[in-house]
Structure 1
Amino acid sequence: MKRTIAIIALCIFCGFPALAADGTFTQEYFYGMFAAEREKAVARLRSFAAENNGYVKFYSSTKVVLRMPAERVQRIRDVILDTGYIGDERIQRTDVGESLLDLRTRLKTKESLLASLYKIFEDAQVQQTLEVEKELGKVVMEIENIKGRIAYLEDRISLAEVTVSINIQPGSKKGAVSGRSRYEWINSLGIEGLMSSG
C-alpha cells in the first residue's frame, strides 16, 4: 500500500513542468524623521494610510508602522516632508519569487496526490482504510500549511511595510519650551508646572 502511494506521488511530481520565476519582491521601508510636532506627524501618517487603502499596524507618540499598497508607498516621503524632514532612510527589498514558485508547485503536487488518495480510499479494503485515512490527513495538513505560507508571501508582496521613527526637531519651539519628561511618572508629579512658574 505504501509503495502504491509512493509511486503515485513520484508520477505526479514528474508530470509538472518547471515554471519561470516572476521576480516578485517584498518591500520594507525604514525612516527616521524629525518633526516640530510629533502628534501632528503621527496623525498625518495615519491618515495617509487610510487614504491610500493601507492600514496602521502599530503607532505610538514616537513610532508608526504602516502597511501600504506597494504601488503607493513611494509617496510616503512627501508625507514625511509635510511635517518634518528625513534624517535616515533605508529600503529593503527581498525577492520571494523562487519561494512562491516552489510553494505553488508543491501545492499542485499535493492536491493531485490528495485526489488520487481519495480514489484509493473509495476502493480500499477494510484493512487498508485506516492507513489511507492517516495518509489523507497528513496530506490535507500539508496542503493547508502550504496555502498559509503562499497567502503570507502574497500579502507581503502586495502591501509594503513602512516604519517611521519620529524624533523632536532640534531647535523647534515645542522642543525648547516644553519641560515634559519622557517618563510619564515624572510628569505626574507636576514638576513641569513648578519649573514654568519659577
Structure 2
Amino acid sequence: MEEVQKGVRGVKGVKILAAMMIIFTLIVASGCSAASNENSKSNSSADLATTSKAEGSVASESKADSKSNTATESPEAAAGASFGASETDPSIADDAGMNRKLIYRSNVAMQVDDYAKAQTLLKNIIHLSGGYLLKFDDKKTSAELGGTYTIKVPSSGFDSFLTALEKLKGSSYESSIEGTDVTEEYVDLESRMKARQVVEARLLSFMEKAVKTDELLKISNELGDVQTEIERIKGRMRYLDKNVAYSTIELRMYQQTVTEVPVVKEEKTGFLQSLQNALSGSANVVYAFIQGVFIFIAGALPVLLLLVVIGIPVYWAYRSNRRGKSNIASKVQVDEKIAEREAQDSAEPTPPTDDDKL
C-alpha cells in the first residue's frame, strides 16, 4: 500500500509540474507578442523620422549647392549668359558643367512706310522662325495706323528674328533686350521634387503595411498633400522650361498717316518791304472789316425785313392809339378850363350898367 501511495504522489507531482510549465510557456508567448508589436510601432515611427530627416538633408544640400554655385560664379560665366549665346541654346553650360536657364524678353517699336505690307512680311517672318502670335491689338486713328504684337519665338532663333525685323523698311527702329537667369530657382525646384518623391515612396510603403483605419486615413491625407506639392513643383518647372525654350517679343509697329508740316524759316526784310507789309496788312484788315459788315448785313437782311413787316403795322397802331388818347386828354383839358372859367364868371357879381342906374 505504501508503494501504491508513493506512485500516486509521484503522478500528481508530474501533473503539477506539467501545469506549471504550460502556464510559464503561455506567459512567455504573450510577452513576446507584445514586444513584437512595440518593436513594429517603434520601427514605423523611426522610418517616418528617417524620411523627414532625409527630406531635410536633401533640401539643405540643394540650397547649399545652389548657394555654392552662385558664390563660385565668375564674371566670365556671367558674361557668357548674354544675348549672343541665345542663338544656340538658352540652357548654357558654365565652367562647373551646370546648364544655365535663361529667359529672354525684348521690346521693339518701329515706324514703317506701309503698314499693310509690313504686317504681311511680319506674319511670314513669324511663320519661318517657328514661332507663333500670342496676342494682337489693332489701332487705327486719324493720325496713325498700327498694332501691338506679343510674339513667342524659339530661343535659338531669337537674334535672327530681331535681325529680320530690323530689315523691314521703316523710318525708325528702337529695341531693348532683357534676360532673366532662373537657374537657381530651377535647381531648387528639382531638389524639392526629389525630396517630395522620396516622402511619397515612403508613405506608399507605409500604406501597404498599415492595418488600422485611422492610420490609413492619416497616411492618405499626408500622401495627398505631398502629391499636390509635387504637381505644383512640376507645373512651375514646365512653365520655366517653356519660357526658356520660347523667348517673348513685344512689338509695336505703326505708320503715320498725317504728314508733318515743314517749318518755313523767316527771312529778314528791309525798311521798304516792312512798310509795304504794314500797309498791305492794314488794307487787309480794313477790307476784312468791310467784308464782314456786308456779310453781317446780308445775313441779317431777312430778319430785318421780317421785323419791318411786323413792326410797321404795330408802330402805326401804337401811334394812332397814342394820338387818340392825346386828343381825348386835350379835349378833357379844354372842357375843364371852360368849366372853370364859367364857374368863375358865375361867382363874380356883374357891375351895374348905366341903364340899371337910371
Q: TM-score range by the shorter chain?
A: 0.7 to 0.9
CA contact (8 A) 1:44 1:79 kept: no
Alignment of 1:66-145 (within 5 A): 66-80=151-165, 81-126=167-212, 127-145=214-232
Shift of residue 86 of structure 1?
A: 4.5
Task: Indicate the structure with greater strand content.
Answer: 1
Task: Indicate the structure with greater helix content.
Answer: 2
Aligned to 1:45: 122
Q: Which moved more, 1:150-159 or 1:38-47?
A: 38-47
CA contact (8 A) 2:58 2:191 kept: no
- SS of the equivalent of 1:60 reads strand
Aligned to 2:248: 161
Distance 1:32 1:72, change over 3 A: same
Alignment of 1:5-24 (within 5 A): 5-15=48-58, 18=62, 21-24=98-101
CA contact (8 A) 2:197 2:230 kept: yes
In structure 2, what residue type is equivalent to 1:14?
S
- SS of the equivalent of 1:67 reads strand
Shift of residue 10 of structure 1?
A: 1.9
Aligned to 2:135: 58
Give 1 or 2 for the bigger CA radius of gyration: 2
In structure 2, what residue type is equivalent to 1:64?
Y
CA contact (8 A) 1:111 1:143 kept: yes
- Aligned identity (percent) is 22
Shift of residue 112 of structure 1?
A: 1.3
In structure 2, what residue type is equivalent to 1:9?
S
Q: Quick one: higher RCO (CA 8 Å, sep 6+), 1 or 2?
A: 1
CA contact (8 A) 2:151 2:248 kept: yes
Counterpart of 2:110 (choices 33, 38, 54) is 33
CA contact (8 A) 2:51 2:199 kept: yes
- SS of the equivalent of 1:142 reads helix
CA contact (8 A) 1:45 1:64 kept: no
Query: What is the root-mean-square deviation of aligned Cα atoms in Å?
Result: 2.3
In structure 1, what residue type is equivalent to 2:54?
C
Measure the CA separation in 2 of the matches of 1:83 and 1:60: 21
Counterpart of 2:238 (choices 151, 154, 157) is 151
Shift of residue 64 of structure 1?
A: 1.3
Measure the CA separation in 2 of the matches of 1:2 and 1:31: 60
Measure the CA separation in 2 of the matches of 1:47 and 1:37: 16
Q: Cα deviations across residues 139-159 of structure 1 (Å, max 9, x unaligned)?
A: 110010000000000111010
Query: What runs of 5+ residues in structure 2 fail to find an aligned partner?
Result: 1-43, 70-97, 139-146, 260-358
Distance 1:124 1:86, change over 3 A: farther
TM-score, normalised with respect to structure 1: 0.77
Measure the CA separation in 2 of the matches of 1:108 and 1:154: 18
- SS of the equivalent of 2:100 reads coil
Q: Which moved more, 1:160-169 or 1:28-37?
A: 160-169
